Structure 1
């Protein structure tokens, strides 16, 4: 054990020579090793067992880190995951393999690598091959169920009072999550130019936040679909509780299975297109266009990746996305904003507005992560501590990715294309602020 501990200190020391990270590592014997010249010790990463170090050296990847953190073999001392990861420039670790002397590192690591390790299976992992399209074996109900049927009570631990699972819109950085989500719901309604009696379609409606808000405050006839049984049960109960049964209709079905004669005035796609798969985007937007009246209004909000210089590189999964699709969102894919606008135009839409909301999503996911961290023991009682810790890591990585610009988020407004005036006011600000609520 002593030789392995000494080897671990030697390996970390060798790696730290090429890093300048403002944080320390704590080993299983209590010793603390700085990873930078001015590394602070108040918040630190902890390697709690020799086995964890063995696996980190043999399988250095984000998935390894996620599984070890879920199991408690990696931990954070003195703060939550966001506080800890803010001290780390992840790009330094990305370029680290090209800087270290590999022979020196291997020699130092031999006492560690000589021993075996076990891989605990403590959290759900989606291991099935996901088909590109429903016609080629893609089972969207199973993919959605993996993520959303975890537990309504679990989501209640960190979402706002309306259970809105998409980026909020913060009037100020200091606004509460509840205020920011209500602001976002109202902004969607105003961007859609909702009027009393409008037929609104919300495919992938989540827990019904937009459906109920639009019905209550804008007098629309709202229709939503979901493939999640948990969401369907929750939203059905909410509609009944609010007395909105005459205005809100909900169905447990694929949003792409509506009869051809079902036509809507307005459609709001709020962070569900990520579940459709890029190969299906063109047909998905064509489908929405077929179910919209002439000059109907479309609103879309989604997360996006940055485009790549070489288009052939874009479909390649990043380490972050590989972690997401295996443990959080199986079948999920993010396109870039140019791809979305192009798909909308090819499907018969005219794009009018594109608004970046990246910082808003950064604040949203940070709220979610900190709220879940504060109630992590309740999460453990619902889904187990390993699953709760996995979600803490996921939400924290999302928050930092949006804050740092690794991920983007946009709101898009379009209308079904038609010859002549668009019907969209010249002065958007006046139109939005002057919208009439019921």
Structure 2
């Protein structure tokens, strides 16, 4: 029996499409078009993962545990598969999605018995999130952020640039290094905010302080960073002290709803930034988020929100980034089409002044992160374990492809809080974003 051929045939019937991959099973058997990316099933447990959880999550679990792999470039393999799915869906809109029919279930069970892969549901990887409590309660939000951002500061230092910017860079030229692109992005935000020495700024979702520290050091402003991650808070305060910025930088370990407890007063903030944090705000809570920004800003104060989005044709019942992202990376993530986000920002009275699409920049940023991971693989595994390192490999490769293919986007949205008479304080001439 050619196990690989039997498995490939079953997979194609289940997905209603021809798969552009070559399959290699644990016994050495192979099937599929010559020269195609090779999907390697190292262990029978991979089949149990997929049988118990058909679709993206089952495949991800098998990959994370090392039962399933791609022989060659993972990005090329995923790109080839997605291209085939798109072509198949142009004929059949359901192609590429598992169709669980009784006859296919019986066929799968029979094949699993014949190849010795039948068994109980395998334990999921330890890297999966396991949140409890009410969706987007303060406690659950804190747990969701901790799952991803408290992983290891040392690990993130391996992946990110020296600014520790965990968001899309601004790659003005393809030749820019990761650090140059992130520095250009930080200048871009500061210029859009019109920062001047002595201003008060709030950085909601301040992360490891890339923008908080940069704005304080290069633009002379007083910044309150906001995070739910204690590891990030400690990291930023330590760097601020090392750079002599302790008098200009504070980090509030609070939910954005509770900023008044850290001395942020309504109507007194000159500038607010939120860089790729809005995706963690639930749909029902997003108006609370934008109302808080409007309330904190003084008349004429500006806000820049850099936020990821999903394409308009993405399924409406999946607000996050898909089962893998929601399970391993960003639980409770909510990504909206750009037009919906703009409407929610404008709703409390903020005036939209500029929207800059940066989708093509993200694959360049993520590719640099992935290269950093691969070049420091042994150290990464030592810091976070083999499973989590494989989570990140899949996350970075898949995420880059999603932006490349316009399934996800990222934009910078500039808004201002007009004064009582409608004055905005914005310059008459367009701001020179590029400097």
TM-score clears 0.5: yes
1:127 aligns with 2:130: yes
Matched, 1:33 2:31: yes
Of structures 1 and 2, the one scoring higher in RCO (CA 8 A, sep 6+) is 1
Change (3 A) 1:199 1:385: same
Give yes or no for contact 2:49–2:59 (8 Å, CA) kept in 1: no
Show the counterpart of 1:261: 265
Displacement of 1:44 after TM fit?
Answer: 2.2
**Shift of residue 353, structure 1, vs aligned partner:** 0.5
- State the partner residue of 1:111: 111
Report Cα offsets for 1:270-317 as digits up to 9, x if no partner: 1111112111010111111111100101100010112359xxx62x12
Aligned to 1:354: 355
Q: Which of 300, 309, 327 is residue 304 of structure 1 equivalent to?
A: 309
For the 8 Å contact 2:224–2:249, the answer to whether it is kept is: yes
Unaligned runs of 5+ in 2: none
- d(CA) in 1 for partners of 2:292, 2:259: 10
What is the CA–CA distance in structure 1 between the aligned matches of 2:272 and 2:320, rounded to whole Å? 33
Cα RMSD after superposing both structures: 2.8
Structure 1 residues 137-152: aligned runs within 5 Å: 139-152=140-153
TM-score, normalisation: structure 1: 0.87
Deviation of 1:99 after TM superposition, in Å, equals 9.8
- The CA distance in 2 between the partners of 1:182 and 1:355, in whole Å, is 17
Q: CA deviation at 1:75?
A: 0.9
- Number of residue pairs matched by the alignment: 420
Structure 2 Cα separation of the partners of residues 339 and 234 of structure 1? 34
Give the conservation status (yes or no) of the 8 Å contact 1:154–1:382. yes
In structure 2, the residue matched to 1:379 is 380
Deviation at 1:256, TM superposition (A): 2.0
| 1:133, distance to aligned residue in structure 2 (A) | 4.2
Q: What secondary structure is seen at the aligned counterpart in 2 of 1:200?
A: strand
Q: Supply the distance in 2 between the matched residues of 1:55 and 1:253 (Cα, whole angstroms).
A: 38
- Label 1:318 to 1:292 Cα distance change in 2 as closer, same or farther (>3 A): closer
Cα deviation digits, residues 145-189 of structure 1 (max 9, x gap): 111111011111211111101111101223211111011001001
CA deviation after TM superposition for structure 1 residue 363, in Å: 1.8
Structure-1 separation of matches of 2:368 and 2:397 = 10
1:285 matched to which residue of 2? Answer: 290
Quickly say closer, same or farther: Cα 1:20–1:147, change in 2 above 3 A. Answer: closer
Structure 1 residues not aligned, in runs of 5+ = none
Deviation at 1:111, TM superposition (A): 2.6
What is the 5 A alignment of 1:272-351? 272-308=277-313, 314=316, 316-317=317-318, 320-351=321-352
Contact map agreement 1:62 1:319 (CA 8 A) in 2: no
Kindly indicate whether the alpha-carbon contact (under 8 Å) linking 1:297 and 1:414 is maintained by their aligned counterparts in 2: yes
